[in-house]
Chains A and B, each alone.
Chain A
Amino acid sequence: MAVTPPLGAGSAGPSGRARGLKVVRAVTVAVAVVGLVITGVLAVVTFRGHQRTERTLLDLQTTLIADAGEAEDQLYVEDHLGGAASVAAASGGDVSMFRQAMTTTVGGGNGFVTGSLWRLSGSSPPQLVTEVGAAPLVPVTAALLREAEVSRPFFVTELVTPGVRHLAFAASASGKDGTFIAYGEEPLPANRRITEPAGSPVAQLNLAVYLGRSQTSSALLETDSSASLPLRGTTDTTRIAFGTTVLTITTSPRGPLSGITGVILPWAVTGGGLLVTFLAALLTERLIRRREDAEQLTSEVSKLYMEQRSVADTLQHALLPQRLPDIPGVEIAVRYIAGTSGVDIGGDWYDVVPLDDHRFVFIVGDVSGRGVRAAAVMASLQFAGRAYAQEGYSPAMILERLSRSVDIERDGHFATVLCGLADLTTKTIVLASAGHLPPLILSGSDARFAAAKPGPPVGISRKVPIAQAEVTVVAGDVLIAYTDGLVERRGEMLDVGLERLQTAATRDSSSLDDMLGSIVTELSGDTPTDDIALIGLKWLT
């Protein structure tokens, strides 16, 4: 149907690809972007929430560890060394009582590996009262003891020799026999590594304990972490009082403290969000495409409709006389308007057939229904009518003969036909109607419908004879014959339409052609639903 453009094959490729490249529509992109943004926000929120929970749990556990450690270590040293010093001060440096006090704390896997009691009196050098357990890692110095004398609750320091590290504690108590210093050493674990028992609340944490405030490797007392120190990542640091110094406790989680759900959730949100976004974008794209396809289909259907309509119009006009004959003494004007009802071709027609120099036949007809068959019936009636007219038959006989060529039962169509034989010499018109609407005759300011008793339409019955009527005209008279599309309106009496025609025809107009034009405009508007054929004859002489 469509003409192939000269560059058809060449241009189809690139344009097809261009359409293919435009894979995703703008709306789809927007949907995807919105989905991604929502997914991102949700993922960040859940991740932050998880982080906050982890941080809170870490802080909580670290505080618990610190509190427990503070109580344990601090009290142990205070109880045993402080207690031993107090006993010594009260007993005036009784050796057996000191030993008694230290029995449960020194050696045999107890807290201290060595213990000793020192007496300080005035500025004289410290005097060793007694010693239990192993020898001190390094000799106890006077400076240490002097410092321990003024330290509360106890003095603590770290002793280091190659491969061995001890923590040294010293607590003092004064009695009437002077100041007594109880001294003890606690070994630090080899490599400073300790192993927390499984199930311990600390088991989930990496733990590093430093003596003092700094987290240097030399200050590290112990750790249960195999990772390199200082701890990295999420850490929490707290400090607890420890004798004259502090313990710095640093923790980091070994895994998610709140369980695996908190870790999975952000990923689940991200994955789910991406999936939903993808599906939403997919759905949007499909809907858009379906709509585009539908729009394209509609436009194609519309185009086809217009083409078919145009074909019907072309055929219709081709069947009508291309040129009306010149008849001296008579002005002829015609109108044909295709109705908007459907795409089918209609079956209205008109014809003017000159017989000799003063007579002519005019015919207006309307085949029932629409479509190609109706048009075929119309064409056969038109040609037959023309032939019968030229044979010299009267209008009634022309109609009766036309009735032989069409049958409603056989052809599915019938036709109303008006046939007139005009004689310019006698100024008469002989009219016959096969079920057709009466022609309007304008004479001066008078407009009347010619009374010709209609016979049955062509193709309905051949039994009923068709009557003829003769009207006389004078110069200036106009006859208008038409098809029912001009005057019929749904829901309106037919007579109303006929009166409207009467009124419209009597308005002033500059020419016969103008008159037909304004009649059509006034009666049918711009878009008549039914086809309209209209012929006007004006007697000039």
Chain B
Amino acid sequence: MANLDPGGQSSITVKTRAEGGTPVVSLSGELDLTNIERVRSAIGDVLAAGTGRLVVELSELEFMDSSGLAMLALFARKVPEIELRDPSPNVRRLIDLSGLAATLNVSP
């Protein structure tokens, strides 16, 4: 029944900054279906200004489910160059297994 609670969101923090003109979005916590919309709109706000490049920092992201992958893949369509920076081993493994590594620029 707990899942009926619409407020039952997983914990995630989204921080944005600029790095030499390139917007950088840092995600920390857990990214899943319960909070994906918050993250989606936060990144959407960053992209609204118009940019050719986006960096998403993932070093603090402990968990991401397939909806997170889908969101990143979608942004990859809209931004000419998107860099997923320093994903944790778990997220890195997820990206590899999902075949998204071929469509996303993951570093290192």
Contact = CB atoms under 8 A, between A and B. Distances in A.
Contacts of B70: 368, 408, 413-414, 457, 460
Contacts of B103: 456, 460-461, 463-464
A302 B73 contact: no
B1 interface: yes
A356 to B, nearest CB: 30
Interface stretch (B20-28, B46-54, B59-67, B79-87): B59-67
A246 B21 CA distance: 122
Contacts of B17: none
Contact of B100 (A435, A438, A494): A435
Contacts of A302: 1
Contacts of B100: 435, 456-457, 460
Interface string B83-108: 00000011001101111101100000
Given A369-B33, A416-B99, A455-B102, 15 more contacts: A341-B3, A366-B66, A408-B70, A408-B73, A414-B73, A456-B98, A456-B100, A457-B69, A460-B70, A460-B103, A464-B102, A490-B63, A493-B89, A493-B93, A494-B97
B99 A409 contact: no
B1 A305 contact: yes
A484 interface: yes
B57 interface: no
B102 A456 contact: yes
Main SS class of interface, B: helix
Contacts of B77: 409, 461
Contacts of A305: 1, 4
Contacts of B30: 490
A100 B103 CA distance: 147
Contacts of B89: 493
A368 B63 contact: no
Interface residues of A, number: 39
A491 interface: yes
Given A414-B70, A456-B73, A438 B97 contact: yes
Contact of A416 (B63, B66, B67, B102): B66
Task: Pick the 10 closest A-B CB pairs, nearest first.
Answer: A454-B99, A435-B98, A435-B99, A464-B102, A460-B73, A342-B3, A456-B99, A368-B66, A461-B103, A455-B99
Contacts of A484: 66
Interface in A415-441: 416, 433-435, 437-438
A416 B93 contact: no
Contacts of B66: 366, 368, 414, 416, 457, 484
A414 B70 CA distance: 7
B89 to A, nearest CB: 7
Contacts of A368: 66-67, 69-70
A494 B93 contact: yes
11 contacts: A343-B4, A369-B67, A416-B99, A435-B97, A454-B98, A456-B98, A456-B103, A457-B73, A460-B103, A484-B66, A494-B94
A488 B74 CA distance: 23
Interface of B: 1, 3-4, 30, 33, 62-63, 65-67, 69-70, 73-74, 77, 89-90, 93-94, 96-100, 102-103
A457 B99 contact: yes
Contacts of B97: 435, 437-438, 454, 494
A460 to B, nearest CB: 4
A524 to B, nearest CB: 16
Nearest to A456: B99
Nearest to B32: A490
Contacts of A495: 93
A458 B66 CA distance: 12
Nearest to B63: A490
Contacts of B99: 416, 433-435, 453-457, 464, 466
Interface in A330-368: 340-343, 366, 368
A466 B99 CA distance: 9
B31 to A, nearest CB: 12
A334 B57 CA distance: 40
A488 B63 CA distance: 10
The winner among B63, B77, B89, B98 for most chain A CB atoms within 10 A is: B98
A294 to B, nearest CB: 14
A457 to B, nearest CB: 6
A229 B89 CA distance: 111
B60 to A, nearest CB: 14
Nearest to A530: B65
A223 to B, nearest CB: 85
Contacts of B1: 302, 305
A461 B90 contact: no
A490 B30 CA distance: 9
A488 B91 CA distance: 12
A466 B67 CA distance: 21
Given A464-B103, A491-B62, A457 B98 contact: yes
Contacts of A416: 66, 98-99
